[in-house]
Amino acid sequence: MGDDTTLVTPEQALALASTLLQGGHCEQAASILEQIAAQGYESAHRLLLLARIARLQSRLDEAARLFHAASDADPALDEAHAGLIGVLEAQGKYDQAAVALRRARIDRNSQRARADALLKESITSPAPIIIDAGAHLGESCDRFLTLFPRACLHAFEPVPVLAQGLRTKFAANPQIRVVSKGLSDAEGELIFHANQDDATGSFLPLDAASPYAAQAGNSPAQSCTVPTTTLDAYCAQQTIARIDLLKLDVQGHEAACLAGAQNLLRQGAIGAIQVEIITAPFYAKPGSFLDIERHLIPLGWRLATLFDVFPDLGAPLFQLDAIYQPPGNTGQDAQED
């Protein structure tokens, strides 16, 4: 900002601090944020940026305090809630993280509408390339074709009978390519643990002590070995230079998929990511924001919104979906300021 702080508005200063932070210049960003605070300016977004700086500098107690303050200042600021939850998880404070999740109070219907609007705003290609990992019965393919009628979808489904069902369902639609493999962090094979509820099949076995599985009457079925690939390898083989949307709903294996997409992430070749996070002890290893964000935050990605939170209120969180945006996307910043 220099000595003449009248040359920029606080909103412009926040945008500059955010850009500096994405480039790893924490001290310069912090200096700008201190200057606008000295002028009497305060906002949830300023607190959020300070929290991100504290997290990057491993000052986790301070980061938690600032994320909490930002969420108090703007209860609709999803990134503040997620940041607080991630820091608490990193500190091993899981009970407090669960409280923070319930405190977010996110309405599912309005958030689904917001998520769809955000994707339509973020994806500008008239014929976007979409990766649907965990295609199951084609529910997400239907949704994405409604949002983007000219999209080209690559639907990954490792279970042979489900993959064949997708081929049958979309036989007349050349825009959808069914891939009978699972996405992971390496090419090869993995054991796929099928369950009585085929929507819950996973590369992770069910948690034998999970009350959620027992209440739903879900139990293990026959397992099988399936082929896997990485997103980096698949895109190289298919000469796909850019993915407009990566959707990950692979029942606890999402972080491994991101680990297998590091080249694309570093090249800035992914336009948006929609990822499911199951936080409850349903599988052998519960998911977390921390597992996902360790692959994204260091590269400048940020949480844009949460949706399909289950249950809504009044009970421990089971799962949710999150949309992340890469560095350089300013649509959310404009809404927050």
Q: Is the per-residue pLDDT at 105 higher than 80?
A: no
Residues 94 and 316 sit within 8 Å (Cβ to Cβ): no
The sheet with strand 188-192 has its strands ordered as: 182-183, 224-229, 188-192
Per-residue pLDDT at 66:
92
Per-residue pLDDT at 166:
95
CA 275 to chain centre: 4
Question: What mean pLDDT is predicted for residues 180-187?
Answer: 97
At residue 52, the 3 state secondary structure works out as: helix
Q: Is the per-residue pLDDT at 247 higher than 90?
A: yes
CATH architecture label of 108-329: 3-Layer(aba) Sandwich (3.40)
Pairwise CA distance, residues 145 & 119, whole Å:
12
Per-residue pLDDT at 234:
98
Q: What is the DSSP letter of 6?
A: G
Pairwise CA distance, residues 81 & 74, whole Å:
10
Q: Is the per-residue pLDDT at 2 higher than 80?
A: no
Number of Cβ within 10 Å of residue 124's Cβ equals: 9
Q: Is the per-residue pLDDT at 228 higher than 60?
A: yes
Q: Is the per-residue pLDDT at 108 higher than 70?
A: no
Question: What mean pLDDT is predicted for residues 291-313?
Answer: 86
Question: What mean pLDDT is predicted for residues 238-260?
Answer: 97
Residues 288 and 277 sit within 8 Å (Cβ to Cβ): yes
Per-residue pLDDT at 331:
45
Per-residue pLDDT at 111:
73
Residues 278 and 318 sit within 8 Å (Cβ to Cβ): yes
State the pLDDT confidence band at 103, using cuts at 50, 70 and 90.
low
Dihedral sign, Cα of residue 142, residue 265, residue 22, residue 75: positive
pTM for the whole thing? 0.69
Residues 155 and 180 sit within 8 Å (Cβ to Cβ): no
Cβ contacts of 219 within 8 Å, gap of 6 or more: 195, 196, 206, 213
Q: Using one digit for the tens of pLDDT, what is the confidence trace for 22-58? A: 677 888 888 888 888 887 788 888 898 899 898 888 8
Per-residue pLDDT at 168:
96
Residues 249 and 276 sit within 8 Å (Cβ to Cβ): yes
Q: What is the DSSP letter of 254?
A: H
State the pLDDT confidence band at 4, using cuts at 50, 70 and 90.
very low
Pairwise CA distance, residues 67 & 269, whole Å:
29
CA angle 318, 319, 324 (to 5 degrees): 155
Question: What mean pLDDT is predicted for residues 291-296?
Answer: 94
Residues 218 and 225 sit within 8 Å (Cβ to Cβ): no
Pairwise CA distance, residues 97 & 316, whole Å:
11
Question: What mean pLDDT is predicted for residues 310-330?
Answer: 76
The two three-digit tokens of residue 274, written as one number: 């929609």
Give percent of the chain above pLDDT 70: 89
Q: Is the per-residue pLDDT at 236 higher than 50?
A: yes
Per-residue pLDDT at 332:
41
Break the chain into its structural domains and give their ranges.
Answer: 5-103, 108-329
Dihedral sign, Cα of residue 34, residue 37, residue 41, residue 47: positive
CATH architecture label of 5-103: Alpha Horseshoe (1.25)
Question: What mean pLDDT is predicted for residues 209-235?
Answer: 85
CA angle 321, 325, 330 (to 5 degrees): 130
Question: What mean pLDDT is predicted for residues 201-221?
Answer: 80
Mean pLDDT score across all residues of the chain: 86
Question: What mean pLDDT is predicted for residues 161-176?
Answer: 95
Pairwise CA distance, residues 272 & 326, whole Å:
7
Residues 270 and 264 sit within 8 Å (Cβ to Cβ): yes
Q: Is the per-residue pLDDT at 336 higher than 70?
A: no
Question: What mean pLDDT is predicted for residues 303-321?
Answer: 76
